[in-house]
């Protein structure tokens, strides 16, 4: 995997991958690099959940994230709490197994962070009528 990040003036950056796809960033008016990292932990794991539930009837899924960072530099994440929400007729235990596997084996973003960082999570299932 290769990539490039270019400063485009002021507080703006442009990230470009090897395929030429890009994402514009601004550390003052948009998400900071750490906010993007937190969101990518959620995105990586949510992909695992959606793929893991592909055979099940669900209409929506999201993950809420809360983090704690060290007080001194580098202000790395010390903990992340994740609450997974799934709307549909899906067994709670199944979603919990899928989430556990994501954190144990599949989510390369969170696995790339400090191994001392604590990730806590829980799952909330919402009936289809709550969508």
Question: Could you tell me the CATH number of the domain that includes residue 41?
Answer: 3.30.300.20
0.75 surpassed by pTM: yes
Token readout for 96 is: 């919990």
Structural domains counted in the chain:
2
Whether 117 and 60 map to the same domain: the answer is yes
Pairing of strands 12-17, 22-26: antiparallel
Token readout for 83 is: 């609450």
Full strand arrangement of the beta sheet holding 3-9: 3-9, 12-17, 22-26
Residue 86 three-state SS: strand
Q: What is the mean pLDDT of residues 49-78?
A: 96
Whether 56 and 20 map to the same domain: the answer is no
Query: Does residue 105 have a pLDDT over 80?
Result: yes
The pLDDT, as a whole number, for residue 129 is: 79
- The residue segments making up the domain with residue 1 are 1-30
Whether 12 and 38 map to the same domain: the answer is no
Whether 52 and 69 map to the same domain: the answer is yes
How sure is the predictor about 49, in pLDDT bands with cuts at 50, 70 and 90?
very high
Mean pLDDT of the chain: 95
Whether 5 and 42 map to the same domain: the answer is no
Preceding peptide of 74 cis, ω within 30°: yes
């Amino acid at each position: 995997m290769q990539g490039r990040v270019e400063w485009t003036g002021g507080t703006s950056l442009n990230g470009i991958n090897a395929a030429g796809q890009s994402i514009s960033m601004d550390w003052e008016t948009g998400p900071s690099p750490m906010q993007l990292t937190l969101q990518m932990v959620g995105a990586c794991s949510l992909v695992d959940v959606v793929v893991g539930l592909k055979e099940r009837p669900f209409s929506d899924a999201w993950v809420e994230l809360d983090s704690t960072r060290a007080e001194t530099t580098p202000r790395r994440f010390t903990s992340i709490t994740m609450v997974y929400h799934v709307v549909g007729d899906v067994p709670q235990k199944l979603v919990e197994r899928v989430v556990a596997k994501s954190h144990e084996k599949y989510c390369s973003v969170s696995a790339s962070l400090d191994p001392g960082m604590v990730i806590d999570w829980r799952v909330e299932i919402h009936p289809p009528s709550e969508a």
